[in-house]
């Protein structure tokens, strides 16, 4: 009950028409409103994020530290499925010829709870996790690329709609077909290793690694539809698809924190000491050593994406002949992944050496028990920042790869160039670390004259290229690109009657570490079905790089 004598309660600012019949308060010399204030504007804006629970590694790790993760995914209104603007989860099972009941994430009880709690037996949780991981993977990739991903084709672009079937069939397989993600479920073998019960049902959609891997397939197909199916391109696709979820792990603070503590900061050790400390012979579970979860794709799902045993072996023994000798694309991809991790851990070592030195100078022991929490926290920050830097470099590198055929060494050149455009100084030394990690694994570009950063960066385009008028670009800029190609026939090496294939322009916008806004535009122009150029423009429409398909790409296939 409001006391008549109390001053009125202002819930909104007074409006011009709020003064009807008002008198001035003699004490305050302000108008006294007789009628309650009217609400103004729209109701409160929707939230920015929606929190959803997922398994970080998979159900077999249970509630182990960091395994149950809350992902904050961009908020959107969701219909049952969940079905949103760009992602739709439709739980159709081909083996059982049925649909499973869709989850309604907008349901009040679920929303207030931060999403459903993890459960293997509840398809609603599976649908929630599939949606959350796809949404989060897409967000991070788009952040790295500096744009909203659209499905490109020479005819134009369209909005990328991802359709997810979390239980498409009873099979050990998970695969994509165009922008559809199909995850299978299967009965574990009777001799299944690790924490899986023999004969239990394993759901591939409950692995962030599997789903993140599939999202990468879909996105790469959307942004680079020009890439054909060859050993090199498969290698790149698989490597990037493994790197994407693996690098995510390093931003999961809880799990990184635990790993740092159990490895005394040496996070690239493949084995973690037991939570009860290191002993020569374990007597209880807490003393058992365990695999470093940051380094391995989840065991029980590895098979679903053709991977058995993760990347650890490749990381342990760099071999300069292994890559060239390997023909199986998964095995080649594992070597590329190991190279990126090698570089990443080298930077981690360099950037944290001073912290360890300070710690030791203060009497701290790194071979002893847990590292102090503030130090572990600082190390976590470093790991996350370094992982994000490499993640961004790899994805932006994709924009800087030649069309049709991308040997891994060209991908390295793309990454080096993209990172240079991002931060010319390279204060962390990431480019040199990456180059050396690739070199010791025998991945060196044949097209560069020297193995130096300057030589590996794609050369700056000659000044005689015409300019793409950026003033009035249409959506896909196809008419403008056509005019550009017509004016660049000489530079592109086109005959007078050539009809090249032109892919729509894509934009990358980001802020460099120097706080400078950067925009680059890129396209692929195929002069023949197997060759062409990726052309990168700066914000003023000047050609920055013209990256041709490597010469021997057209004859890459061993057979007829």
Residues near other proteins, by CB under 8 A: 79-81, 83, 88, 90, 92-102, 121-123, 161, 163, 165, 167-173, 175, 177, 180, 182, 185-192, 201, 203, 231, 303-304, 306, 308, 324-328, 331, 552, 555-560
Distance, C-alpha 259 to centroid of its chain: 21
304 sits in the region (left: phi over 0; alpha: psi -120 to 50; else beta) called: alpha
- What's the residue count for the chain? 560
CA distances to 136, 427, 550 from 70, rounded to whole Å, are 11, 33, 44
Q: Which is nearer to other proteins, 85 or 490 (CB)?
A: 85
Minimum separation from the CB atom of position 112 to other proteins (A): 22
Question: Strands, DSSP E only, in 426-542?
Answer: 501-502, 506-511, 517-528, 531-538
Cα–Cα dist 359/341, whole Å: 26
Minimum separation from the CB atom of position 90 to other proteins (A): 5
Minimum separation from the CB atom of position 297 to other proteins (A): 14
Cα–Cα dist 23/37, whole Å: 15
Q: Which is nearer to other proteins, 226 or 326 (CB)?
A: 326
Q: Which is nearer to other proteins, 325 or 498 (CB)?
A: 325
Cα–Cα dist 370/263, whole Å: 9
Cα–Cα dist 286/292, whole Å: 15
* Dihedral sign (CA 217, 396, 233, 432): negative
Minimum separation from the CB atom of position 554 to other proteins (A): 10
Minimum separation from the CB atom of position 72 to other proteins (A): 24
Asked if residues 367 and 269 have their Cβ atoms less than 8 Å apart, the reply is: no
Minimum separation from the CB atom of position 188 to other proteins (A): 7
Q: Which is nearer to other proteins, 187 or 365 (CB)?
A: 187
Greatest C-alpha distance within the chain: 97
Q: Which is nearer to other proteins, 109 or 327 (CB)?
A: 327
Q: Which is nearer to other proteins, 189 or 487 (CB)?
A: 189
Write out the two tokens for 353. 């050496």
Asked if residues 375 and 362 have their Cβ atoms less than 8 Å apart, the reply is: no
DSSP annotation of 216 reads: H
Q: Which is nearer to other proteins, 166 or 500 (CB)?
A: 166
Minimum separation from the CB atom of position 190 to other proteins (A): 6
């Amino acid at each position: 009950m409001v006391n008549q004598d109390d001053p009125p309660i202002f819930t909104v600012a007074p409006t011009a028409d709020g003064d009807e019949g008002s008198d001035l308060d003699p004490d305050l010399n302000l108008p006294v409103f007789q009628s309650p204030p009217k609400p103004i504007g729209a109701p409160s804006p929707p939230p920015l994020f929606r929190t959803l629970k997922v398994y970080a590694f998979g159900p077999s790790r249970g509630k182990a530290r960091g395994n149950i993760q809350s992902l904050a995914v961009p908020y959107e209104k969701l219909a049952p499925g969940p079905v949103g603007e760009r992602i739709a989860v439709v739980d159709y099972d081909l083996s059982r010829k049925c649909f499973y009941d869709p989850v309604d994430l907008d349901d009040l009880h679920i929303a207030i709870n931060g999403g459903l709690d993890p459960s293997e037996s509840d398809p609603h949780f599976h649908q929630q996790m599939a949606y959350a991981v796809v949404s989060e993977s897409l967000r991070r990739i788009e952040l790295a690329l500096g744009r909203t991903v659209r499905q490109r084709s020479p005819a134009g672009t369209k909005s990328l709609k991802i359709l997810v079937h979390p239980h498409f069939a009873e099979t050990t397989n998970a695969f994509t077909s165009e922008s559809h993600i199909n995850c299978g479920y299967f009965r574990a073998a009777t001799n299944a290793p690790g924490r899986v019960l023999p004969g239990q049902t394993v759901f591939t959609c409950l692995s962030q690694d599997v789903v993140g891997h599939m999202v990468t397939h879909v996105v790469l197909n959307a942004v680079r539809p020009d890439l054909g199916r060859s050993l090199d391109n498969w290698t790149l696709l698989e490597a990037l698809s493994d790197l994407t979820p693996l690098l995510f792990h390093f931003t999961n603070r809880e799990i990184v924190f635990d790993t740092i503590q159990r490895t005394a900061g040496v996070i690239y050790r493949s084995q973690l000491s037991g939570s009860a400390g290191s002993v020569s012979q374990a007597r209880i579970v807490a003393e058992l050593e365990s695999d470093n979860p940051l380094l391995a794709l989840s065991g029980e799902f590895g098979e679903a994406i053709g991977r058995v045993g993760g990347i650890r072996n490749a990381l342990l023994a760099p071999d300069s002949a292994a890559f060239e000798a390997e023909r199986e694309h998964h095995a080649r991809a594992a070597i590329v992944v190991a190279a990126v991790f090698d570089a990443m851990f080298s930077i981690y070592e360099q950037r944290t050496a001073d912290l360890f030195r300070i710690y030791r100078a203060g009497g701290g022991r790194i071979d002893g028990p847990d590292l102090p929490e503030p130090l572990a926290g600082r190390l976590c920050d470093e790991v996350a920042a370094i992982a994000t830097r490499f993640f961004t470099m790899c994805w932006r590198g994709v924009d800087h790869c030649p069309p049709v055929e991308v040997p891994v060494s060209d991908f390295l050149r793309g990454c080096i160039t993209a990172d240079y455009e991002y931060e010319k100084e390279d204060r962390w030394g990431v480019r040199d670390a990456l180059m050396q990690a690739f070199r010791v694994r025998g991945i060196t570009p044949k097209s560069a004259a020297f193995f130096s950063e300057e030589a590996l960066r794609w050369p700056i385009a000659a000044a005689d290229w015409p300019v793409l008028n950026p003033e009035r670009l249409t959506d896909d800029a196809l008419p403008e690109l056509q005019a550009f190609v017509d004016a660049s026939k000489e530079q592109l090496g086109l005959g007078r009657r050539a009809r090249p294939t032109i892919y729509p322009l894509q934009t990358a916008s980001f802020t460099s570490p120097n706080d400078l806004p950067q925009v680059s535009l890129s396209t692929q122009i195929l002069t023949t079905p197997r060759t062409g150029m990726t052309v990168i423009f700066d914000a003023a429409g000047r050609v920055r790089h013209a990256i041709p398909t490597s010469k021997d790409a057209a004859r890459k296939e061993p057979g007829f």
